[in-house]
Amino acid sequence: MTAGPARPATPRYDVVVVGAGLAGSLVAKRLGDRGWRVLVLEAGTRTLDSWPGHLDALDTAHAALAKVPNAPYRRNPAAPFPDVLDLTGLPDGGYRADGYFLQNGPLPYGSDHLRATGGTALHWMGLAPRMHPDDFHVRRAYGYGRDWPLAYDDLEPHYRAAERELGVAGDADEQRDAIGLPFPPGYGYPMHKIPRSYLDSVIAARLDGVRLREAPDAPETTLRVVTTPHARNSTPNPGYDSGRGHRPRGAVGTPNYGERCVGHAFCVPICPVQAKYTPLKTQATWSDDVTLVAHAVVSRVLTAGNGRVLGVEYQRYDDPASPAHTTRTAEADLVVLAAHAVENAKLLLLSGLADASGQVGRNLMDHPVLLTWGLLDHPAGPFRGPGSTSGLECFRTGPARRDRAPFRVEIGNWGWSWPAGSPSGDVSRLLGITGDPSQPRGKGLFGARLRRELGHFVGRQFSFQFAFEQDAESRNRVTVDPRHRDRLGIPRPVLTYDLSDHVKRGIASAKAVSDQLFRLLGAEDHTAYAPGTSAPGWFRHGDGAFEFKGAGHAAGTHVMGASRADSVVDPWQRCWDHPNLYAVGCGSMPSVGTSNPSLTMAALTLRSCERMHRDLTELHRPAALRLPEGRP
Ligand SMILES: Cc1cc2nc3c(=O)[nH]c(=O)nc-3n(C[C@H](O)[C@H](O)[C@H](O)COP(=O)(O)OP(=O)(O)OC[C@H]3O[C@@H](n4cnc5c(N)ncnc54)[C@H](O)[C@@H]3O)c2cc1C
Ligand code: SF4
């Protein structure tokens, strides 16, 4: 009998991590540093981690008509991703969704994500505030949403570890005084805070110390402009880490670039010099024990039949433009899903795993954003520096949370870019180009008059971005529908999304606050919400009409809890039903507070790495043999 050709053995690792975004990069870093053999499978391409690849993305963004978050990143039919341009508003309200996400909710889920090595944080804004301690127990304290099985104090050391890894610039004393965030005595961030923009100073000069009421019968709130912590390079803090200081990380592959934010004002979609943290910076420090395989779309988690998982099945393609691909498997002692809140839920649903509680895919959250915009009475210097450097933090917590969603107010440094497509929209308007081919071309302004008018108009623009806490609701969810598949045959996510009355009341309160802020600033308020093509998030509430946008902060699809009966993962982000399967990322967060979520997510992930290390150590501990009594 002749033996058949030897088949290549399925490669075996200690850990398989699905996704090379922020969460996956941190897991690979921590476990690789401890000597575990880690395989990272990444669905997207791997071009951004070389300087030529970065420049190519930058060129693509510059050439794009709409500078939306995904503008620099080439479409990839093998690993499709959503885009904010996929949504169109209808003339009388309502919306149409045409892209990767199938949507069937009363309101649209308005955020995108990115499937490429580095993930969504390639195009994040990089704001890195901590959650408020009250945010961890909103049901107990305020009667809505879900509680964490952890408290702020459990995460605090991991917040510091995340701030170190992301190189956060901030002012701990200001965060303590203005917001009430507890820090250990003497703690300072790795880098000094990003300085206030000129606009921040103008607004602070007019608002600091002013007291206002959200409603006539509401208590007074004292306004104060507070700088925001950022994951972008500023001046290193020499006192950091007991005087050891902090060395900022420059661009990947070109480290003398990007050691300082130089104010390009292009952080979303891409920082030209890479002064903003992206997971590529963490990947650049991975140990040799980490292997990254891009072009590898995980389609299923494989089970052993005893509750444990074996590894994953993935689809490997060479050319994003070709449908050709092969199905492969990878085995490991531990599988970590780090594919983004929506994709993690999709994978669990496709694998039929971790859903004894019936909560997989449910409790989808974002930070719905209300924009208001206006003109100051003198130039404010917009379109310089990061999109927001300061905000008003006084609406983040307090008894009003019982009645309406809390919110953060970001002061928008980029004029009317988000609400009205400035400055290119203003240039077109002043040139007399309406964008409607059926309309005759108007008589526009040219030369010195155009420049003067632009300077006068654009130079006075500012906006407020109100970001609301969205409460976990099981009806907001991700499901999969086998009738709708991507090019590799993997079902696409179906999203059902709406805003609760709690959130809508928050939006109405914030608009009332905004009206007062404009009056206090003596600014012309140009805010207007009308249904139409560019307003898919338009809705009526009470006597008012509003429009919300997505913040890109997908969360809550595999929520963490204290009991396996009503949550998907335990406080270590380990699936209750599968002891060697973790699902990490914002999907584990039971509530999101009002702070941008990624720093908290990073802290949570670093905390989970400790448990993963313990699990692996236990699995690999040499067996102790005890021979029966009396045997030599
Ligand atoms: C415009 C915008 C601005 C933002 N600004 C901020 C901000 O200022 N502050 C903040 O805190 N947060 C911000 N966020 C949110 C932040 O980007 C995300 O919370 C964070 O990037 C999520 O990290 P993640 O690793 O969980 O997911 P991702 O970053 O999405 O990474 C997931 C990775 O998994 C890969 N993947 C997906 N599916 C598969 C599969 N089937 N097989 C293999 N690999 C797969 C993806 O390609 C990707 O690389 C912003 C988001 C957007 C969209
Ligand atoms: S302001 Fe400019 S340099 Fe600074 S992070 Fe944003 S894009 Fe980069």
Q: What is the pLDDT of residues 377-398, one digit of tens each?
A: 999 999 999 999 999 999 999 9
Task: Say yes or no: CB of residue 42 within 6 Å of ligand 1.
Answer: yes
3-class secondary structure per residue, 214-233:
CCCCCCEEECCEEECCECEC
3-state secondary structure of 169: strand
Q: With 90 as the cut, is the pLDDT of residue 271 above it?
A: yes
Q: What is the pLDDT of residue 253?
A: 87
Contact 70, 53 (CB under 8 A): no
C-alpha distance from residue 579 to each of 496, 568, 608 (Å): 30, 12, 13
Q: Which atom of ligand 1 is nearest to the CA of 23?
A: 25
Task: At 10, list the tokens.
Answer: 């399925």
Q: How far is the CA of 107 from the centre of ligand 1 (A)?
A: 22
Q: With 60 as the cut, is the pLDDT of residue 88 above it?
A: yes
- Which stretches of 230-340 are DSSP H helices? 240-243, 279-283
Nearest to residue 106, comparing CAs of 494, 472, 505, 498? 498
Q: With cut-offs at 50, 70 and 90, classify the pLDDT of residue 440.
A: low
Task: At 459, list the tokens.
Answer: 């130079």
What letters, b where the CB count within 10 A reaches 16 and e where it falls short, cover 75-84? Answer: ebebbbbbbb
Q: What is the pLDDT of residues 154-207, one digit of tens each?
A: 999 999 999 999 999 999 999 999 999 999 999 999 999 999 999 999 999 999
3-state secondary structure of 577: coil
End-to-end distance of the chain based on CA atoms, in angstroms? 44
CB atoms within 10 A of CB 601: 24
CA distance 199 to 201: 5
Residues 6+ apart with CB under 8 A from 506: 404, 405, 406, 407, 468, 469
Task: At 603, list the tokens.
Answer: 């802290």
For a mutational test of ligand 1's pocket, the pick from 41, 351, 553, i.e. the residue with the most ligand atoms closer than 8 A to its C-beta, is 553
3-state secondary structure of 318: coil
Q: With cut-offs at 50, 70 and 90, classify the pLDDT of residue 574.
A: very high
- Contacts by residues 58-63 (CB-CB < 8 Å, ≥ 24 positions apart): 58/270, 58/272, 61/266, 61/269, 61/270
CA distance 335 to 581: 5
Task: Say yes or no: CB of residue 74 within 6 Å of ligand 2.
Answer: no
Task: Say yes or no: CB of residue 276 within 6 Å of ligand 2.
Answer: yes
The closest residue, in CA terms, to atom 47 on ligand 1 is 115
Contact 374, 525 (CB under 8 A): yes
Q: With 80 as the cut, is the pLDDT of residue 458 above it?
A: yes
Q: How far is the CA of 410 from the centre of ligand 2 (A)?
A: 17
pTM: 0.95
The closest residue, in CA terms, to atom 5 on ligand 2 is 276
The closest residue, in CA terms, to atom 2 on ligand 2 is 264
Task: At 228, list the tokens.
Answer: 């925001």
Q: How far is the CA of 384 from the centre of ligand 2 (A)?
A: 9
Task: At 369, list the tokens.
Answer: 């954003």
Burial of 234 (0-12, 13-18, 19+ CB in 10 A): buried
Contact 131, 600 (CB under 8 A): yes
Q: What is the pLDDT of residues 599-626, one digit of tens each?
A: 999 999 999 999 999 999 999 876 666 6
CA distance 588 to 518: 38
Contact 349, 361 (CB under 8 A): yes
Residue type, 626: R
Contact 72, 347 (CB under 8 A): no
Task: Say yes or no: CB of residue 266 within 6 Å of ligand 2.
Answer: yes
CA distance 580 to 308: 6
Task: Say yes or no: CB of residue 268 within 6 Å of ligand 2.
Answer: no
Q: What is the pLDDT of residues 24-59, one digit of tens each?
A: 999 999 999 999 999 999 999 999 999 999 999 999
The distance from CA 278 to its chain's CA centroid, rounded to whole angstroms, is 12
Q: What is the pLDDT of residue 444?
A: 84
Average pLDDT, the chain: 94
Q: How far is the CA of 27 from the centre of ligand 1 (A)?
A: 14
Residues 6+ apart with CB under 8 A from 294: 20, 42, 44, 45, 46, 117
Q: Which ligand is nearest to the CA of 557?
A: 1
Q: How far is the CA of 79 from the centre of ligand 1 (A)?
A: 14
Q: How far is the CA of 278 from the centre of ligand 2 (A)?
A: 12
The closest residue, in CA terms, to atom 8 on ligand 2 is 271
Task: Say yes or no: CB of residue 578 within 6 Å of ligand 2.
Answer: no
Task: Say yes or no: CB of residue 505 within 6 Å of ligand 2.
Answer: no
For a mutational test of ligand 1's pocket, the pick from 114, 117, 124, i.e. the residue with the most ligand atoms closer than 8 A to its C-beta, is 124
For a mutational test of ligand 2's pocket, the pick from 58, 252, 261, 274, i.e. the residue with the most ligand atoms closer than 8 A to its C-beta, is 261
What letters, b where the CB count within 10 A reaches 16 and e where it falls short, cover 179-216? Answer: bebebeeebbbbbbbbbbbbbbebbbebbeeeebebee
Contact 569, 353 (CB under 8 A): no
Q: What is the pLDDT of residue 12?
A: 81
The closest residue, in CA terms, to atom 46 on ligand 1 is 115
Contact 335, 39 (CB under 8 A): no
For a mutational test of ligand 2's pocket, the pick from 249, 260, 267, i.e. the residue with the most ligand atoms closer than 8 A to its C-beta, is 267
Q: How far is the CA of 272 from the centre of ligand 2 (A)?
A: 7
CA distance 77 to 148: 37
CA distance 119 to 109: 19
237 DSSP assignment: -
Q: How far is the CA of 33 from the centre of ligand 2 (A)?
A: 30
Peptide bond into 269 cis (omega under 30): yes
Contact 559, 588 (CB under 8 A): yes
Q: Which atom of ligand 1 is nearest to the CA of 127?
A: 8
Q: What is the pLDDT of residue 624?
A: 61
125 DSSP assignment: -
Q: What is the pLDDT of residue 431?
A: 87
CA distance 72 to 122: 10
> Read out DSSP for 496-564?
E----HHHHHHHHHHHHHHHHHHHHHTPEE------STT-TTEEEETTEEEEEE--S--B-TT-B-S-T
584 φψ region: left (φ > 0), alpha (ψ -120 to 50), beta (else): beta
**What percentage of residues in the chain have a pLDDT greater than 90?**
89
Task: Say yes or no: CB of residue 381 within 6 Å of ligand 2.
Answer: no
Range of weakest confidence among 6-20, 213-227, 383-397, 487-501:
6-20
What's the residue count for the chain? 632
Burial of 545 (0-12, 13-18, 19+ CB in 10 A): middle
Task: Say yes or no: CB of residue 232 within 6 Å of ligand 2.
Answer: yes
Residue type, 612: M
Contact 308, 281 (CB under 8 A): no
The closest residue, in CA terms, to atom 4 on ligand 2 is 261
Nearest to residue 293, comparing CAs of 19, 584, 10? 19
Contact 283, 23 (CB under 8 A): no
Q: How far is the CA of 32 from the centre of ligand 1 (A)?
A: 21
Q: What would the mean pLDDT of 323-329 be, rounded to a whole number?
A: 96
Task: Say yes or no: CB of residue 552 within 6 Å of ligand 1.
Answer: yes
Task: Say yes or no: CB of residue 230 within 6 Å of ligand 2.
Answer: no
CA distance 403 to 416: 31
3-state secondary structure of 405: coil
For a mutational test of ligand 1's pocket, the pick from 25, 340, 609, i.e. the residue with the most ligand atoms closer than 8 A to its C-beta, is 340
* Phi and psi, residue 326, nearest 5°: -125, 150
